[in-house]
Every structure is written in C-alpha cells, then in structure tokens.
C-alpha cells in the first residue's frame, strides 16, 4: 500500500514536520532539491552527457521556486553550466528570498524572463514555477513562460524536469489550470499527489519519481495529521497479503458466488463474469441467466452451476434458494432493462444479508426507476458505474464528475451507504471515508466486456470472505494488471475482454 496526498494533506504533512517536530523548512528544501539534482545528474550520465550539459531552472517566487534555486546551486557546485530564469514578479516567501540571495552571492547567471529566451538551447529545463498550492488559472507572464517551455519540446534533446508537480496542474484533481508544463519527468516529494495520478495531469507529468524529502514518519503522520492515509493505492505486495490459500482447504473454503447476468443476445457477459470469478480463486460459481444462454455457458464454462429463467416467468420465489446458497451476489452484466431484469434487481436489493455487486443494467434500472437503496453492515453493496452510468445515477454532468472524481464517488457512497467503484482511466474506490485510486490498466481495456470481467472478480473475492472494501480495491488493481499483461502479449488495440479474464491467472501466479 502506498499513500497519496492532495494539496491540503501535503501542506498538513509539511506543517507537522516543521512546526510540531522542528525540522527546519530549509532542511526539507535541501533534501527535496538534492532529489532533483541527483536525478538530473544520473539521467545525464545514463545518456552519456557527463560533461558540457546546459541546465536552466525556471523559478516562481514561492517555495517551489526556492526548491529550484537550491537545485541550481547544487548543480553549480558539481561544475554544471546552470542558469536561472525568474518567472515570478513578487518578493516571494522567506525561503525563496534566502535561496535567491545565496544563488546571487555565488554568481550564478540569473535573468528575469523577458519573452525572448529560447529554452530549446538547454539540455535540461527544471520547472519550478508553481508547486502544489496553485488554485487559479495560469495567465499573463506565467502563461507565456510555460508556453515557451513547452515549445522547447520541439527539440528532442531537451528534457523537462518538474519539481514536485508540473506547473499548471491542480494537485488535487489533475485538471489543467489554463495551461501547464508538459514534463518528461516529475520529481515529487514525500508522496505521490492525486493530481499527478488523475488525467489529464498524469499525461503532463511524464515519468514520476517519489523521493524522501525528510518529512516525519508515517506512524507519526497517522497520529498527528487527521487526513493522512485516507487516500492510497496498491502495489503487487498487496495481492499476496490479501489473497492467501490454505493447504488443507476445499472448494467450500473459498466461498460461493451467484452471478446474475446475460439476457437474450447478451450471453457473453455471463461467460466473462463467471470466468473472472473462478480465476479470482473462489470455490463455486453459479450463473443465473436467460435460458437461451444455457448451452453456450455449458460449452464455455463447464465448471459453473447454472440456473435459468424465462422472460415471462415470476422470479421472486425461485431466486430465494439461489440467494440462500450464495455468499455474494453480482447482478447486472448484460441483463437488459426488461420487466424480468427489473424484478431481479429489486429482489437483490431487498436481500440485505449478503454482499451485493451492482453493475451495468442493474445500475441503469436503479437510475431509470429512481430506486432508493442503502447498504448495511450485514449486507454491503458495491456499485461499479462508469462515468456515464454515474451521470445517470446522480444527475450530474459527465464533465463535472470527471473533474471531481473523488468528491462525486464519496458523496454517492455516503448517501447510499455503499462502496462506489467509479470507473475511468483512473478508477476511484471509496466507502465514503477511505479512497483508493487505481494505477494499473491501459486504454486497451476500453473494449466491450471488460466491465463484466471486473464484476466477476469482485464477486469471487467477496465470496472468499475478503472485506468488501478491500475486495473492491484489490479486484480493480488485479483487473488492471491483467489488462496490462494482456496488452503486453496482444497489443492494446487487439486485446479483448476474454484476454483480460485469462490474464488474471497469470497475474495472480506472479
């Protein structure tokens, strides 16, 4: 597990380190700058640019600019030809004035930006204009500087290194504040930022490296900074930590899940979900589907138990036995929005003693019929909307949801006492308090059926007894890793949802 921070949390971490534990801000600044200068030197050496390189540090007048000035001084100490361009016009912070004075005393070449500097003449541009505190659109002189920096990208030999975050990106949601530096590399301090994770900020950040800038330790931050640790992401170690097999087990050990999926002409959704559920490691999977899909399921998924229904058949009584059998219930993939599908969805919502996963058409039925629901401690609910489905559920615009992914998901999770998996290029999972941001997956997964695979994964992992929130986070992580594995073999354009489902086994094996 790796913790992430937004601008407010990172400022709290900074203040805790400085004011409660007495670590001088200039010490933190020196550590941060050392991370930037060391990265630049290592990159130059790796690319056989050990001598004769030219570096320009473009500095604003805040603490981000002070970090850039400190990095310029350190590079100058190593004999590197480094220049400083001042983008800011104000007097700046105390730290900025201190660093500016030192740079001036050392005789490092410093100039004010006048609109005539060709940044493409440099091997490296260090972007230290704005840090994580940017709260309004970039305009005027600052916009001109950023435009000039981005123009330098026309020279393929010029590399741009952003200090903490590329200037112009919101550190909270990754939105571009009018204009932003398009960096090749970002050296960020302490913890990765949510604004670097989310798009479009992610595409402006280049390759991201997180360095230790000397803040107080995480155990202290958990005690002292209320908001610290509420936003996080997973890595491969979390898979092994959460998915544990027992040598003296049987199929009953790993749970039973019921997947309700597949209407007429949509049987593939049931197959994809069931396949992913079994590959998660669960013991038994039963599929409730339209009778027309039975033969296809038997041929493709002989491991599955199968129940069927007809369009005109009353379902409530028949569903009761299947619900009793299952430990978790997933409903929605390829279900359609007819009368039978609506009855099934209502029955699932009424069953408040099981973990229930609501996906696709189940969500469309809830939105279309304005069904109110709430999860409970005994019967938790996990929903898996993509952006358009979330728009139908909430009445918010797609643009508003994309700009406020965390807030939109948390608000809905709180209102309905559920776990919300809001799917996009960066998927957000939240129970209304904790927030997981997924960093796996790729655009090859923008293809029909991938959502059905995710639903099956969640159903399987919850059936195995994992905590519902952890199962939701882990399923999203493994789903993305499987997508990355599939893309490595088939290519992003040619991969299919079935490839993703198959790749789950390889991901878990590794």
Peptide bond before 182: cis, by omega within 30 degrees of 0? no
DSSP state of 95: H
Q: Binding site for K(+): which residues?
A: 64, 127, 167
CA-CA distances (angstroms) from residue 432 to 162, 229, 355, 411?
Answer: 32, 14, 17, 7
Q: Binding site: which residues?
A: 63-67, 127, 131-137, 142, 164, 167, 269, 334, 386, 423-427, 451-452
Contacts of 22 (CB under 8 A, 6+ apart): none
Contacts of 508 (CB under 8 A, 6+ apart): 239, 243, 279, 280, 281, 478
Q: Binding site for (6S)-NADPHX: which residues?
A: 63-67, 131-137, 142, 164, 269, 334, 386, 452
The token duo for 128 is 């230290």
Cα(44)–Cα(130) distance, integer angstroms:
25
User: Do the Cβ atoms of 204 and 175 come closer than 8 Å?
Assistant: no
User: Do the Cβ atoms of 228 and 33 come closer than 8 Å?
Assistant: no
Cα(388)–Cα(442) distance, integer angstroms:
19
SS (H, E, C) 428-452: EEECCCCEEECCCCCHHHCCCCHHH
Q: Binding site for AMP: which residues?
A: 423-427, 451
- CB environment 167-187: b (16+ within 10 A), e (fewer): bbbbbbbbbbbebbbbbbbbb
User: Do the Cβ atoms of 135 and 365 come closer than 8 Å?
Assistant: no
CA-CA distances (angstroms) from residue 144 to 43, 116, 294, 472, 485?
Answer: 28, 10, 64, 44, 42
């Amino acid at each position: 597990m790796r913790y992430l921070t937004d601008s407010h949390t990172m400022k709290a971490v900074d203040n805790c380190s400085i004011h409660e534990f007495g670590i001088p801000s200039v010490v933190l600044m020196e550590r941060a700058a050392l991370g930037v200068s060391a990265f630049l030197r290592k990159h130059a050496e790796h690319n056989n640019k050990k001598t004769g390189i030219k570096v320009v540090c473009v500095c604003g007048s805040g603490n981000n600019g002070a970090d850039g000035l400190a990095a310029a001084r350190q590079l100058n100490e190593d004999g590197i030809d480094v220049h400083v361009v001042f983008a800011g016009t104000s007097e700046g912070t105390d730290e900025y004035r201190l660093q500016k004075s030192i740079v001036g005393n050392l005789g490092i070449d410093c100039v004010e930006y006048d609109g005539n500097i060709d940044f493409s003449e440099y091997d490296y541009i260090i972007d230290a204009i704005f840090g994580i505190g940017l709260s309004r659109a970039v305009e005027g002189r600052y916009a001109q500087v950023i435009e000039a920096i981005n123009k330098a990208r026309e020279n393929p030999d010029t590399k741009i290194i952003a200090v903490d975050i590329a200037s112009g990106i919101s550190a909270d949601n990754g939105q571009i504040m009018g204009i932003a530096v398009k960096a090749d590399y970002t050296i960020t301090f302490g913890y990765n930022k949510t604004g670097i994770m989310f798009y479009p900020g992610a595409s402006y950040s280049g390759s991201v490296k997180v360095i230790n800038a000397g803040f107080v330790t995480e155990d202290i931050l958990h005690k002292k900074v209320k908001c610290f640790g509420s936003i996080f992401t997973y890595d491969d170690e979390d898979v092994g930590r959460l998915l544990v097999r027992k040598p003296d087990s049987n199929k009953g050990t790993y749970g039973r899940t019921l997947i309700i999926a597949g209407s007429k002409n949509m049987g593939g959704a049931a197959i994809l979900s069931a396949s992913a559920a079994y590959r998660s490691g669960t013991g038994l999977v039963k599929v409730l589907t339209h009778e027309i899909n039975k033969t296809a399921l038997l041929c493709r998924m002989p491991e599955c138990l199968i129940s069927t229904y007809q369009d005109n058949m009353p379902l409530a009584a028949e569903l009761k036995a299947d619900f009793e059998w299952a430990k978790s219930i997933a409903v929605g993939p390829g279900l359609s929005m007819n009368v039978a599908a609506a009855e099934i969805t209502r029955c699932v919502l009424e069953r408040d003693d099981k973990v229930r996963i609501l996906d696709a058409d189940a969500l469309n039925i809830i939105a279309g019929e304005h069904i109110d629901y709430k999860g409970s401690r005994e019967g938790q609910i996990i929903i898996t909307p993509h952006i358009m489905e979330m728009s139908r559920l909430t009445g918010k615009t797609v643009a508003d949801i994309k700009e406020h992914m965390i807030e939109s998901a948390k608000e809905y999770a709180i209102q309905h006492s559920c776990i919300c998996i809001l799917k996009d290029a960066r998927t957000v999972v939240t129970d209304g308090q904790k927030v997981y941001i997924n960093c796996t997956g790729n655009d090859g997964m923008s293809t029909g059926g991938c959502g059905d695979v995710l639903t099956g994964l969640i159903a399987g992992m919850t059936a195995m007894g994992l905590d519902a929130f952890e199962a939701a986070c882990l399923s999203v992580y493994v789903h993305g890793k499987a997508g990355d594995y599939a893309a490595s073999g088939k290519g992003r354009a040619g991969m299919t949802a079935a490839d993703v489902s198959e790749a789950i086994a390889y991901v878990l094996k590794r």
